[in-house]
Amino acid sequence: MFQISRRTFGATLLAGAAATTLPRGAQALDLNSARALIDRAIGEVNSVINSGKSEKAMYGDFERIFAKYADVAAIARSALGPAARTASAAQMKTFTKTYQAYISRKYGRRFREFIGGKIEVVDAKPLKSYFEVISVAHLQGESPFDLRWHVSNKSGRDLFFNIIIEGVNMLASEREEIGAMLKQQKGDINALIGALASA
């Protein structure tokens, strides 16, 4: 049986959850809002994990959560790295949508390993131009570990855009992986999109 690692768990959460609300206009994001945001996101994640659905049935749920709560555009742009600066608007739009589905499928295959687990928010604090919401993950057969969620409203909505799991930056990890895939495709963004769609 696959034994989930903490690194994989963090990457899965990146795929499965983030946080946002309806547009807040000129209202600034504050500490309580950021913390409540992650509380709601975690509630949805835990609900799907323990829903009893099959892995495939979970894929759609987690893609919906990702699309609803994550700053998908920022995450996808970061994952693509320097190539995002030369990509056309059409390529970025297609890459973002394809990446959203890809990452949801990729980690959705492992979600059943989380059954019986629990994630809870324990603290929150301001960090530079965003907020860090601190949570603890409790998985069966694992000692509790730290998850830090980064929340911003730079896009005009309150959004989750990164996870730090015991010091490992999951956004950077995704950038490294997608960069390696792009290199395999000899820098061809359209070929990368095709590879992600079929992965």
Measure the CA–CA gap between 187 and 181, rounded to whole angstroms. Answer: 9
Measure the CA–CA gap between 111 and 116, rounded to whole angstroms. Answer: 11
pTM: 0.79
pLDDT tens-digit readout, 70-112 = 899 999 999 999 999 999 999 999 999 999 999 888 776 666 6
Query: Quick one: average pLDDT of 2-13?
Result: 55
Class of domain 6-198: alpha beta
Eight-state DSSP code of residue 142: S
Query: Quick one: average pLDDT of 6-25?
Result: 49
* Domain residue extents for the chain: 6-198
Structure tokens at 195: 């590879």
